[in-house]
Amino acid sequence: MKVLIVGSGGREHAIAYAVAKSSHVSKIYCAPGNAGIGQIAECVNIGAMEFDRLVAFAKEKEIDLTVVGMDDPLVGGIVDAFEKEGLRVFGPRKNAAILEGSKAFSKDLMKKYNIPTAAYENFSSPEEAKKYLETSKYPIVLKADGLALGKGVLICNTKEEAMAGVNELMLDKKFGDAGNTIVIEEFMTGREVSVLSFVDGETIKIMTSAQDHKRAKDGDQGLNTGGMGTFSPSPFYTKEVDEFCKKYIYQATVDAMKAEGRPFQGIIFFGLMLTEDGPKVLEYNARFGDPEAQVVLPRMKNDIIEVFEACIDKTLDRIDLQFEDNAAVCVVLASDGYPVSYEKGFEIHGLEQFETKEGYYVFHAGTKLSDGKIVTNGGRVLGVTAKGADLKQARANAYEAAKLVTFENKYMRSDIGKAIDEA
Ligand code: AMP
Ligand code: GLY
């Protein structure tokens, strides 16, 4: 069959890699893709938000299945646009992708269905928000309701910071209409875990756990980024935590969406915080994590096409989802200066060494082909993933592998996966 993948980052490269392993697939296209994806798929120059052109392309090439990696097109209704034309597509419809697209919606859903999460209030008036902040406990968390490239969350230590935050989100509209409504929520502490799952509207199958490193600098210092590295599984995601989440969070979320007339088919990514009072949901995403996909998918044993199809056909209960009994670590190689400002266009060396190394992967994020050479083309350039028998081995392998690739201005964190030493 022919598969079209929509997106252009490291996550989409990891999806393309898994799709390429499927015995059912004869041809992969990716829109718009990147230089790495271009080695296993044919990249087409159509943007992820150009639904009409994507639909036309899928019809012209007789694509059997389209897989959407990114949040923006999902929240914008790409799945509805494909379904309307009778095309098969993997991902939630617009009325279900709202689980990620509106934090106010997801908080209200959790409250209504007793799913553990931080206490909160939603505000669409800056005056009301400020009034509430007068008597709040600090620190406190402000979140833009809509999509904000993962940057719409402000942790405010004082009332002054919080008031300035309301101005930034609601009046200055730093994230545009995403800040028309904000969520103000209780500050929680604990370890964070990412749990991805496949969902067919009724059945949910949990993937192996992972942990992201969102800050730019070692020791979780510096600015928030799209993610500087991941490890999987998380040793903090114990059997006890798993049992709790299965009982109170995972199926409860799927059932809640169904009860609301918004059946969710696709990936639900649970951003969890393991607090003293038990696991709580920090956020939902409606897609694979980036760079969580880069450590979770290489460990998946199933043919991913069969799992995608089961989600679409509502037969996920028949899939025995299995992961290798090992570990993986992904170290992101970024352009120095990310996430603020950085130069691009530098040639990348050493990539060919990954072609022959079993258990090592280099997923492209911000790269492009220029005069036949692969050059840097973004803040996050590559994600180097290595597997190992356990997390320590995987981490050692990933850092060895990260040395194989060189480019001017290469920057990485040196402590990805360090937390496992505390487990
Ligand atoms: P989100 O986009 O909701 O996942 O938020 C981004 C990051 O902000 C999370 O990964 C947490 O590190 C942090 N965060 C979000 N909500 C809270 C909260 N209620 N308490 C503490 N930290 C939070
Ligand atoms: N790594 C976090 C995310 O994909 O949202």
Residues 267-284: pLDDT tens digits? 999 999 999 999 999 999
pLDDT of res. 226: 87
pLDDT of res. 423: 76
What residues form DSSP beta bridges with 48? none
Residue 352 CB partners (closer than 8 Å, separation 6+): none
Amino acid at 237: Y
353 alpha carbon – ligand 1 mean position (Å): 37
Q: Which residue lies with its CA nearest to atom 16 of ligand 1?
A: 282
Neighbours of 349 (CB within 10 A): 14
Q: Compute CA 155 distance to the chain's CA centroid, rounded to the nearest angstrom.
A: 21
142 alpha carbon – ligand 1 mean position (Å): 9
Say if CB 354 and CB 363 are below 8 A apart.
Answer: no
The CA-CA-CA angle for residues 306, 311, 317, to 5°, reads: 85
DSSP 388: E
Residue 114 CB partners (closer than 8 Å, separation 6+): 248, 252
288 alpha carbon – ligand 2 mean position (Å): 8
pLDDT of res. 149: 79
**Nearest ligand (C-alpha, residue 71):** 2
- 150 Cα nearest atom in ligand 2: 5
How many whole angstroms separate alpha carbon 303 and alpha carbon 310?
Answer: 11
pLDDT of res. 151: 80
pLDDT 10s digits, 323-373: 999 999 999 999 999 999 999 999 999 999 998 888 999 999 999 999 999
- 188 Cα nearest atom in ligand 1: 20
- State the alpha helices, DSSP H only, in 141-269: 159-166, 239-245, 251-259
Q: Which residue lies with its CA nearest to atom 3 of ligand 1?
A: 283
Pairing of strands 410-411, 191-200: unpaired
Within 6 A (CB) of ligand 2 lie 150, 212, 227, 285, 289-290, 292
Q: Which residue lies with its CA nearest to atom 6 of ligand 1?
A: 153
Is-cis flag, bond preceding 92, omega within 30? no
pLDDT of res. 343: 96
398 alpha carbon – ligand 1 mean position (Å): 27
In the block, residue with structure tokens 């931080």: 118
Say if CB 214 and CB 224 are below 8 A apart.
Answer: yes
Q: Which residue lies with its CA nearest to atom 2 of ligand 2?
A: 289
**Nearest ligand (C-alpha, residue 188):** 1
pLDDT of res. 135: 93
61 alpha carbon – ligand 2 mean position (Å): 31
Kind plus residue range of the DSSP H or E element containing 103? helix 103-112
**Nearest ligand (C-alpha, residue 271):** 1
pLDDT of res. 232: 98
401 alpha carbon – ligand 1 mean position (Å): 31
328, exposed or middle or buried, with CB in 10 Å at 0-12, 13-18, 19+? buried
Within 6 A (CB) of ligand 1 lie 118, 141, 143, 150, 153, 155, 185-188, 192, 214, 271, 282-283
pLDDT of res. 420: 86
Q: Which residue lies with its CA nearest to atom 3 of ligand 2?
A: 289
Q: Mapping DSSP to helix (H, G, I), strand (E, B) and coil, where does residue 185 land?
A: strand
**Nearest ligand (C-alpha, residue 228):** 2
135 alpha carbon – ligand 2 mean position (Å): 32
212 alpha carbon – ligand 2 mean position (Å): 7
- Spell out the long-range contacts of 121-130 with Cβ–Cβ below 8 A and sequence spacing 24 or more: 121/183, 121/184, 121/185, 122/181, 122/182, 122/183, 122/184, 123/170, 123/181, 123/182, 123/183, 123/184, 124/180, 124/181, 126/166, 126/167, 126/170, 126/171, 129/166, 129/170, 129/182, 129/184, 130/163, 130/166
Q: Cα-atom radius of gyration of the chain, to the nearest Å?
A: 21
153 alpha carbon – ligand 1 mean position (Å): 7
> What string of pLDDT tens digits covers the 423 residues of the chain?
999 999 999 999 999 999 999 999 999 999 999 999 999 999 999 999 999 999 999 999 999 999 999 999 999 999 999 999 999 999 999 999 999 999 999 999 999 999 999 999 999 999 999 999 999 999 999 999 999 877 889 999 999 999 999 999 999 999 999 999 999 999 999 999 999 999 999 999 999 999 999 999 999 999 889 899 999 999 999 999 999 999 999 999 999 999 999 999 999 999 999 999 999 999 999 999 999 999 999 999 999 999 999 999 999 999 999 999 999 999 999 999 999 999 999 999 999 999 888 899 999 999 999 999 999 999 999 999 999 999 999 999 999 999 999 999 999 999 999 988 887
pTM score: 0.96
Pocket test of ligand 2: the residue of 147, 194, 380 to mutate, having most ligand atoms within 8 Å of its CB, is 194
How many whole angstroms separate alpha carbon 5 and alpha carbon 83?
Answer: 16
